[in-house]
Amino acid sequence: MPPRARLPPAHAPASQMYKNTGDQGLLEELYPQVVKAVQWQAAQSSTWGLIQYIIDTYDILRLDVYPLATFNGFLHLLAMRAGAYLATEMGDTATAAAATKAFDAGSAAATSLLWNSTYSYFRAYWTNNASEPGDAIMADCLYGQMLSLHHGLGWLVNTSYVASHLAAETTYNGNDYGFTVGRGAPAATLVRTRVCAPPAVRAVRRR
């Protein structure tokens, strides 16, 4: 397993600032870091199409121990979409093409490797183990999609996947107070991570 890393600063805020202000000077000031971040994330996602072994704000769930995680994956897609937009605005065709290529590979990986076709939702994480792919479902894992819409960068995957996943979150994660962060397998991790798999463990007492 490669060394785990943290995501670099997101490109989305930079894209929003530029969209809102049209401040070319600000874009030119920030752009070298955008290019470095696009290059780093493209390299980090070259194996499976999405950024791998990343520590995020849900570090309590230890998603960084898995090759891929939906929360990280959608933030990666957002960053590549924003990077392509900013590169286009700067007339940097090479970086725009690299970001778009990484986005296309990532979007395809999200709907193949991370998609649970049996229950129609995005897995919280992917294990790269066909016999135990990981069937956890995590509320908030589409945070990157929400940010993409907020920043005017559009849908990161086909909307049918998003609608199906959100319906599954309501079914499996919903509780009397809102949403449990996650539900998933194996059942032994329930108490420690609060991530467990539907329907096999739906009988477990809700938090």
pLDDT of residue 84: 95
Residues 122-154 have pLDDT tens digits of 999 998 887 777 788 888 899 999 999 998 999
Is residue 185 very low, low, confident or very high in pLDDT (cuts 50, 70, 90)? very low
For domain 5-176, the question of CATH label 3.40.50.300 is answered with no
Residues 57-107 have pLDDT tens digits of 765 667 788 899 999 999 999 999 999 999 999 999 999 999 999 999 999
Q: Where are the domains of the chain?
A: 5-176
Residue 21 reports pLDDT greater than 60 = yes
CA 28 to chain centre: 27
